[in-house]
C-alpha cells in the first residue's frame, strides 16, 4: 500500500481544504453563523480599547456628558457581544462537530464496505491506520475551530498591532518578534505529537484488545478457569505504560518549550510597559493613550497566543485527517449503479482452473494448482484433513480473496470480471465460523436476506426448516427476544427484558435458517453446517437440504463422511491439490484416502456400537 509521502506542512494545507469542504457539506448555515461570530469576537477587543480611550480622554478634556454617552453605549453593546457570542459560538461549534463527524464517519464506513475482500482487515498496518482514521472523524470540526480561530486571532491582532504601532512601532516590533519562536516550536511539537500517535497506535490497539477480552462474556469462561485475569491485565497495563511513557516524554518537552516561550513573551511585554511609563512621564502619551497601549500589549499577546494555539489545532487536525484520507484512497472507487451488470444465473457450472493461493507472500501455499469443475445443479462435497484448504477454497469462490495464480470461472467468465456484490447475491452460505450477532432472533435470521427483515412469514418458514422455530417461539418475546445479554431489549434498564443465550447447536440452526432464507440462490455453501447438531437433527438437516436444493448447486464441507456420501461428486483435498474425486462408491472402489477415512469413521461407530452392546 502506498501512503502519502508529501511534506507534513504541504499535506496539511491540502487536507485543510478537504476538511473545510467536508464541514461545508455537513453544516453550511451553522458555518456562516460561526464565521460571523468569530469576526465580531475578533474585532470587538480593539473597538473596546479605542472606545475606552475616547471615554477617558473625553472625561479628562471635560467634554459634554452627551459626547461620552455614545462610546459608553457602544461599549455596553460590545460587552453583550463578549458575553453572549462565545455561548452561541460554543453551541455552533458543537453542532458543526456533530454533523461533520457524522458525515465523516458515514464516509469512512462506506469506504470500508467497498473493500471487495478481507485482506485489508487482516493487515495489522492497515488496522492501525483504520483506528487512527476512526479517531479522525472529529478532525473536520476541530480543524474548522482552528481555522476560524486563526481568522479571529488575525483580526484581533491586526487591530491591536495597528493600535500599538500607532503609539510605538519599536514596542510593536519587540512583541511580534518575541512570538516567532512560539510558532516554530508549536509546529515542531505538533509534528512530534502526530508521529507519537502513529508510533503508539499498535500499543493502544493491543491495549484495547486486552481490555475488551477482559470484559467479554464469551472469553470469561477460559479467563476464569485458567486464571488468565492477572496475566491479561498485566499485558494490558504494560501496553498502557508504554503509550504513557511516549506521551510523557513529549509532554515534558512541551512543558519546557512553552515555559521558555512564556518567559520570552513576559519579557517583551515588560519592556513595552517600561517604555510606556517613561513616555507617559515625559508627557508623550495621554491617559487615553496609556489605556489603549495597555490593552494593545495585552491584546497582541493574547491574540498571538490564540493564533499559535489555533494554528496548532488546525495543523494537528489536518495531519490527523491524513489517516482518514489514506483509508479512503486505499478503497476502490464506488461503482455507479448504472455500470453494474447483473451476474447471470449459473447454467453450466463453476470451474477452478489451476488455482494457486497463499494468504500472503510470507505464508505457505494453501492451494497448489487446484483443478475442479462444479456442475450446475450438482451437490458436491469437499473433504480433507484439518488445514487442507477447504474453507479457503470456498472463500475464493465468494471473492473474499483472489487466487494468487489461476482463475475461477462462472459459466466460463472469470469471477474477477463479475461485480462481486451481484455474484454474492447468487450465493447462500453457512460458514464454519458464522456470526452470532447481539440482535433479536428475528434480526439474527434476517441478516441472511435483509429483504425478509420485516417479513414474519418468511422468517418463521426459515426457522421451521432449520428446526429452531419452536425454541424461538418459547422465548419470552418470541422472535423479538434478544439473543444476547449485552443489551436491554427495551429502552432502559428499569423493567426492561434482558436477552437469552442460545446453545451452540441452537445457534447453528439460526445460521441454517439464514441460509434457508436464500434457498433459491444459485450456489449454496455449507461449511460444517451440522458439527454442533444432534444426530437426529443432522440427519433431518441433510434430508431437508437434499429436498430443497434438489437440482441446485450446493457445496458441502464436512468431516462426517456419512453426511457427504450422498453427494453427486466428492473431492478430496490433499497437499493443496484435488487428490481424489468421484462418487462415494467410486471413491470406495479407488481404495485411497477417502476409503481409508470412511472405514476409520465407520469402524469407530461400529466399535462403539459393539462396546455399547457388551456393556448393556
Ligand atoms: N486468514 C488467513 N490468513 C492466513 N492463513 C490462513 C487464513 N485462514 C486460513 N489460513 C491457513 O490456511 C490453511 C487452510 O485453512 P482452511 O481454513 O482453509 O482449512 P480447512 O481445510 O477448512 O480446515 P478445517 O478442516 O480445520 O476447517 C491453514 O494452514 C490455515 O492456517
Q: Ligand 1 in contact with 386 (CB < 6 A)?
A: yes
Hey, what's the cell of 34?
A: 460561526
Which atom of ligand 1 approaches the CA of 384 most closely?
21
What is the pLDDT, as a whole number, of residue 57? 80
For 199-209, how does the pLDDT look when each residue is reduced to its tens digit (9 = 90+)?
A: 999 999 999 99
Q: Does residue 19 carry a pLDDT above 80?
A: yes
What is the pLDDT, as a whole number, of residue 184? 82
Among 110-124, 196-210, 527-541, 576-590, name the one with the lowest average pLDDT: 527-541
Per-position DSSP letters for 472-501, written without gaps between them: HHTSTTGGGSBS-SSSBSSSSSTTPPB---
Q: Ligand 1 in contact with 360 (CB < 6 A)?
A: no
- Nearest-angstrom CA–CA distance, 392 and 428: 16
Q: Does residue 4 carry a pLDDT above 60?
A: no
User: Ligand 1: distance of its center to the CA of 214 in Å?
Assistant: 27
Dihedral sign (CA 311, 316, 322, 327): negative
What is the pLDDT, as a whole number, of residue 71? 85
The H-or-E segment that residue 161 falls in is helix 139-167
All residues at 6 or more sequence positions from 90 whose CB lies less than 8 Å from its CB, including other chains? none
Are 100 and 27 in contact by the 8 Å Cβ rule? The answer is: yes
- Nearest-angstrom CA–CA distance, 106 and 121: 18
Per-residue 3-state assignment (H helix, E strand, C coil) for 383-425: EECCCCCHHHHHHHHCCCCCCCEEEEEECCEEHHHCCHHHHHH
What is the pLDDT, as a whole number, of residue 1? 42
Q: What is the DSSP letter of 451?
A: G
What is the pLDDT, as a whole number, of residue 146? 92
Q: Which of 122, 359, 394 to mutate to test the pocket of ligand 1 (most atoms within 8 A of CB)?
A: 359
For 326-361, how does the pLDDT look when each residue is reduced to its tens digit (9 = 90+)?
A: 999 888 776 666 666 788 999 999 999 999 999 999
User: Ligand 1: distance of its center to the CA of 585 in Å?
Assistant: 29
Among 59-73, 130-144, 147-161, name the one with the lowest average pLDDT: 59-73
Hey, what's the cell of 124?
A: 495489522
Bridge partners, 414 (sequence order): 409
Q: Does residue 66 carry a pLDDT above 80?
A: no
Higher pLDDT, 7 or 42: 42
Q: Ligand 1 in contact with 558 (CB < 6 A)?
A: no
Bridge partners, 367 (sequence order): 357
- Nearest-angstrom CA–CA distance, 108 and 106: 5
Bridge partners, 587 (sequence order): none
Q: Ligand 1 in contact with 359 (CB < 6 A)?
A: yes
Among 64-68, 305-309, 547-551, name the one with the lowest average pLDDT: 64-68
Mean pLDDT of the chain: 88
Q: What is the ipTM of this complex?
A: 0.98
Q: Ligand 1 in contact with 424 (CB < 6 A)?
A: no
User: Ligand 1: distance of its center to the CA of 20 in Å?
Assistant: 45
Q: Does residue 483 carry a pLDDT above 60?
A: yes
User: Ligand 1: distance of its center to the CA of 389 in Å?
Assistant: 6
Q: Ligand 1 in contact with 575 (CB < 6 A)?
A: no
- Nearest-angstrom CA–CA distance, 54 and 71: 7
User: Ligand 1: distance of its center to the CA of 147 in Å?
Assistant: 50
Higher pLDDT, 283 or 427: 427
Q: What is the DSSP letter of 576?
A: T
For 487-522, how does the pLDDT look when each residue is reduced to its tens digit (9 = 90+)?
A: 877 665 555 577 899 998 899 999 999 999 988 899
User: Ligand 1: distance of its center to the CA of 329 in Å?
Assistant: 30
What is the pLDDT, as a whole number, of residue 606? 63
User: Ligand 1: distance of its center to the CA of 387 in Å?
Assistant: 5
Which atom of ligand 1 approaches the CA of 385 most closely?
25
Q: What angle do CA 244, 246, 252 make, to 5 degrees?
A: 95
Q: Ligand 1 in contact with 389 (CB < 6 A)?
A: yes
Q: For residue 290, give the nearest of 311, 273, 303, 312 by alpha carbon.
A: 273
Dihedral sign (CA 512, 514, 516, 522): negative
Q: Which of 357, 385, 387 to mutate to test the pocket of ligand 1 (most atoms within 8 A of CB)?
A: 387
Amino acid at each position: 500500500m502506498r501512503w502519502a509521502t508529501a511534506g507534513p506542512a504541504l499535506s496539511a494545507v491540502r487536507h485543510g481544504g478537504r476538511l473545510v469542504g467536508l464541514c461545508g457539506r455537513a453544516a453550511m448555515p451553522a458555518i456562516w453563523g460561526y464565521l460571523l461570530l468569530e469576526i465580531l469576537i475578533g474585532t470587538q477587543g480593539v473597538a473596546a480599547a479605542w472606545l475606552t480611550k475616547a471615554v477617558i480622554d473625553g472625561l479628562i478634556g471635560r467634554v459634554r456628558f452627551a459626547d461620552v454617552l455614545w462610546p459608553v453605549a457602544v461599549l455596553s453593546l460590545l460587552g453583550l457581544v463578549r458575553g453572549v457570542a462565545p455561548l452561541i459560538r460554543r453551541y455552533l461549534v458543537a453542532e458543526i462537530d456533530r454533523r461533520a463527524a457524522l458525515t465523516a464517519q458515514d464516509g469512512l464506513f462506506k469506504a470500508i464496505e467497498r473493500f471487495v475482500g478481507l485482506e485489508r482487515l487482516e493487515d495489522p498496518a492497515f488496522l492501525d491506520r483504520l483506528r487512527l482514521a476512526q479517531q479522525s472523524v472529529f478532525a473536520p470540526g476541530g480543524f474548522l475551530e482552528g481555522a476560524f480561530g486563526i481568522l479571529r486571532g488575525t483580526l484581533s491582532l491586526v487591530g491591536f498591532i495597528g493600535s500599538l504601532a500607532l503609539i510605538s512601532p519599536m514596542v510593536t516590533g519587540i512583541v511580534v518578534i518575541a512570538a516567532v519562536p512560539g510558532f516554530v516550536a508549536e509546529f515542531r511539537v505538533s509534528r512530534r505529537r502526530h508521529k507519537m500517535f502513529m508510533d503508539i497506535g499498535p500499543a493502544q490497539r493491543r491495549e484495547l484488545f486486552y481490555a475488551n477480552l477482559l470484559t467479554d462474556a464469551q472469553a470469561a469462561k477460559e479467563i476464569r478457569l485458567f486464571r488468565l485475569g492477572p496475566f491479561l491485565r498485566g499485558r494490558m497495563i504494560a501496553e498502557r505504560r508504554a503509550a504513557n511513557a511516549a506521551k510523557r516524554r513529549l509532554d515534558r518537552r512541551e512543558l519546557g518549550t512553552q515555559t521558555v516561550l512564556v518567559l520570552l513573551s513576559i519579557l517583551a511585554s515588560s519592556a513595552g510597559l517600561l517604555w510606556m511609563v517613561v513616555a507617559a512621564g515625559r508627557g508623550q502619551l495621554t491617559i487615553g493613550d496609556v489605556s489603549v497601549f495597555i490593552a494593545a500589549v495585552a491584546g497582541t499577546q493574547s491574540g498571538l497566543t490564540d493564533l499559535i494555539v489555533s494554528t496548532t489545532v488546525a495543523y494537528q487536525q489536518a495531519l490527523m485527517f491524513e489517516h482518514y484520507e489514506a483509508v479512503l484512497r486505499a478503497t476502490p472507487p464506488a461503482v455507479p449503479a448504472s455500470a453494474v451488470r447483473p451476474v447471470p444465473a449459473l447454467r453450466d457450472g463453476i470451474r477452478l482452473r489451476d488455482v494457486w493461493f497463499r494468504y500472503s507472500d510470507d505464508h505457505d501455499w494453501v492451494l497448489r494448482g487446484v483443478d475442479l469443475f462444479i456442475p450446475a445443479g450438482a451437490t458436491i462435497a469437499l473433504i480433507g484433513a484439518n488445514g487442507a484448504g477447504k474453507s479457503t477454497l470456498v472463500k475464493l469462490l465468494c471473492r473474499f480473496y483472489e487466487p494468487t495464480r489461476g482463475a475461477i470461472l462462472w459459466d466460463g467468465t472469470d469471477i474477477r470480471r463479475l461485480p462481486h456484490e451481484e455474484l454474492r447475491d447468487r450465493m447462500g452460505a453457512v460458514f464454519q465460523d458464522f456470526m452470532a450477532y447481539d440482535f433479536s432472533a428475528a434480526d439474527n435470521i434476517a441478516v441472511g436476506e435483509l429483504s425478509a427483515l420485516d417479513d414474519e412469514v418468511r422468517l418463521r418458514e426459515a426457522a421451521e426448516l432449520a428446526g429452531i422455530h419452536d425454541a424461538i417461539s418459547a422465548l419470552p418475546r418470541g422472535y423479538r427476544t434478544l439473543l444476547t445479554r449485552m443489551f436491554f431489549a427495551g429502552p432502559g434498564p428499569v423493567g426492561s427484558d434482558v436477552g437469552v443465550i442460545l446453545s451452540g447447536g441452537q445457534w447453528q440452526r439460526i445460521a441454517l435458517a439464514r441460509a434457508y432464507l436464500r434457498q433459491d440462490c444459485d450456489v449454496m455453501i455449507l461449511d460444517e453446517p451440522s458439527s454442533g447438531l444432534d444426530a437426529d437433527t443432522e440427519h433431518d438437516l441433510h434430508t431437508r437440504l437434499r429436498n430443497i436444493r434438489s437440482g441446485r448447486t450446493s457445496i458441502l464441507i464436512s468431516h462426517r463422511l456419512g453426511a457427504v456420501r450422498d453427494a453427486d461428486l466428492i473431492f478430496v483435498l490433499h497437499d493443496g491439490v484435488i487428490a481424489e474425486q468421484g462418487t462415494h462408491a467410486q471413491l470406495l472402489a479407488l481404495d485411497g484416502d477417502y476409503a481409508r477415512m470412511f472405514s476409520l469413521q465407520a469402524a469407530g461407530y461400529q466399535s462403539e456400537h459393539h462396546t455399547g452392546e457388551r456393556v448393556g
